[in-house]
């Protein structure tokens, strides 16, 4: 992000996008953990992580990396890890 944008705000938003799912999705994640089996929740989370990583890698290799794509996929990865 620091090489794409010179704005300090955008660099800071990367950190915010990785911590924001903890605040926004904690109650939903607790409900999902209570209602579904541990194996299926972990499998879905790993699938989301793999999908977001592949999307980011393909977009970087094609030269289509935008600020909002990095922020969105960072949010998605952090949400899948939690």
Domain for residue 2, yes or no?
no
Domain for residue 72, yes or no?
yes
Domain for residue 3, yes or no?
no
HEC string for the chain:
CCCCCCCHHHHHHHHHHHHHHHHHHHHHHHHHHHHCCHHHHHHHHHHHHHHHHHHHHHHHHHCCCCHHHHHHHHHHHHHHHC
Q: Which domain holds residue 24?
A: 8-81
Domain for residue 64, yes or no?
yes
**Per-residue pLDDT for the chain (82 aa), expressed as one digit of tens each?**
667 777 888 888 888 888 888 888 888 988 998 999 999 999 999 999 999 999 999 999 998 888 889 889 989 998 888 7
């Amino acid at each position: 992000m620091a090489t794409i944008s010179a704005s300090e705000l955008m660099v800071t938003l990367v950190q915010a996008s990785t911590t924001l799912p903890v605040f926004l999705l904690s109650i939903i994640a607790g409900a999902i953990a209570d209602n579904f089996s541990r194996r299926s929740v972990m499998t879905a989370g790993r699938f989301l992580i793999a999908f977001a990583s592949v999307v980011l890698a393909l977009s970087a290799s094609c030269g289509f990396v935008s600020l909002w794509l990095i922020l969105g996929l960072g949010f998605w990865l952090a949400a899948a890890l939690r």
